[in-house]
Amino acid sequence: MRYAIVTETYPPEVNGVALTVQGLEQGLRARGHQVSLVRPRQEGDPRALPDTTLVRGASLPRYPGLKFGLPATRRLGRLWSESAPDAIYVATEGPLGWSALRAARRLGIPVATGFHTRFDEYMRDYGAAFLQQTAMRWMRRFHNGADATLVPTRELQEFLTSQGFARVVRLARAVDTSQFSPGHRDPALRAQWGAGADTPVAIYVGRIAAEKNLALAVQAFRALQRERPDARFVWVGDGPARERLAAANPDFVFCGLQRGTALARHFASGDLFLFSSHSETFGNVTLEAMASGVPTVAFDYGAAREHLRSGQHGYAVRDDDAFVAAAVQLGTDDALRRRLGENACEAVRSLRPEQVATDFDNLLAGLAAQRRPHENVATA
């Protein structure tokens, strides 16, 4: 089969959407399919890349390292008229995503979209809560123009269906347990953090930005620190809030962006993962922490709702007070941390990226088998 994937973020950009899309692409290729990629040009890209169409992009406000693709409907129309894929996956709802959806519909090519980001929640996190319903209408209009909208959890599938989204399909996520493993725990790295073998190390991995609700993670750690003054808080990632957070908390350890084996070492060298975000559609880092044997404190939605059993693998909580209390309990009970970390690692062993690739392939192939002409999508 010939598939096309359209995305406005892609590695070496580091975020959940970029890495998820790359995993889906690699999974299809491993199954023997031809896959073409459409994405914005990034700094350092050569003039041409195999099986890749590079389009113009612009930097995201507050995220100068990330870009969105500019409209390219005509270019994509010409590209797919000359060599039509059997099905297209559009991963992002930006201008490039809208262009891809229009071009696909005009050509009668089946298209699935991915719901990766809760932009309605972002409106609240950035002080524009009055725009939440507008964002929801915009997302609903976009995704309802596709043959299927892919989501990672049953919870999100039910929510979007209740909001008038049509044809919402769950595509489960997985974690590479050969990469993320307790075996990557590194005493030398912990020593760099100022942590000994018995020092409780809280770790955060992800974007350091307003939408991650990081003030609560800080509050939880300070409560833990009152009980265990030797505790350390390690931050892996980058973002617009890093400089301010570091200035306000000079005792925190900031490690910047980490990838591959280095990321696995950082994860496994922590003792509890504090994930305070309210606005994830899934939260791949929850599975990565579990696979690394690190018990997690997270809110009861997304990956935590789908995979983390509270009291067995960590704690899935419903309010801020419970989040703080769970962090203190885990941080002060060494035996509990070890037991829950072992349970968490075991719980995700059966989640296989190869199965996700198979399910994704079957879904796109099913759309291709049901190919039907579409009316032109309305101009946004």
- Name the range with the highest mean pLDDT among 53-62, 132-141, 192-201: 192-201
Say how far apart CA 58 and CA 40 lie, in whole Å.
8
- Once rounded to an integer, what is the mean pLDDT over residues 70-97? 95
Say how far apart CA 112 and CA 19 lie, in whole Å.
18
- Which pLDDT band, with edges at 50, 70 and 90, does 320 fall under? very high
User: For position 375, what pLDDT does the model report?
Assistant: 43
Sequence-distant (6+) residues with CB within 8 A of 127 are none
Least confident of 53-62, 158-167, 271-280: 53-62
- Where are the strands (E) in 237-374, listed by range? 253-254, 272-275, 296-299, 314-317
Say how far apart CA 212 and CA 309 lie, in whole Å.
22
Which domains are seen in the chain, by residue range? 2-174+353-369 (3.40.50.2000), 182-347 (3.40.50.2000)
Please tell me the pTM assigned to this model.
Answer: 0.88
- Which pLDDT band, with edges at 50, 70 and 90, does 374 fall under? very low
Return the SS3 of 203: strand
Residue 358 CB neighbours (<10 A): 14
Length of the chain measured in residues: 380
- Once rounded to an integer, what is the mean pLDDT over residues 144-162? 96
User: For position 203, what pLDDT does the model report?
Assistant: 98
Sequence-distant (6+) residues with CB within 8 A of 53 are 36, 37, 38, 39, 75, 76, 79
User: For position 116, what pLDDT does the model report?
Assistant: 87
| Residue 125 confidence (pLDDT) above 70 | no
User: For position 64, what pLDDT does the model report?
Assistant: 55
Backbone angles phi, psi at 319, to 5 degrees: -150, 170
Burial, 131: exposed, middle or buried (Cβ in 10 Å; 0-12, 13-18, 19+)? middle
| Residue 192 confidence (pLDDT) above 90 | yes
- Once rounded to an integer, what is the mean pLDDT over residues 305-312? 95
H helix or E strand, kind and range, residue 75 = helix 73-82
Q: What is the CA radius of gyration of the chain?
A: 21
- Which pLDDT band, with edges at 50, 70 and 90, does 140 fall under? very high
Say how far apart CA 307 and CA 174 lie, in whole Å.
10
User: For position 132, what pLDDT does the model report?
Assistant: 77
- Once rounded to an integer, what is the mean pLDDT over residues 330-353? 97
**What does pLDDT average to over the chain?**
92
The percent of residues above 90 in pLDDT, for the chain, comes to: 82
Say how far apart CA 247 and CA 250 lie, in whole Å.
6
| Residue 216 confidence (pLDDT) above 70 | yes
User: For position 133, what pLDDT does the model report?
Assistant: 83
Longest dimension (CA), the chain: 66
| Residue 123 confidence (pLDDT) above 80 | no
Q: How many CA atoms lie within 13 A of 232 on its CB side?
A: 20
- Token output for 304: 């935590």
Say how far apart CA 74 and CA 54 lie, in whole Å.
14
The percent of residues above 70 in pLDDT, for the chain, comes to: 93
- Once rounded to an integer, what is the mean pLDDT over residues 15-33? 95
- Which pLDDT band, with edges at 50, 70 and 90, does 43 fall under? confident
- Name the range with the highest mean pLDDT among 94-103, 113-122, 123-132: 94-103
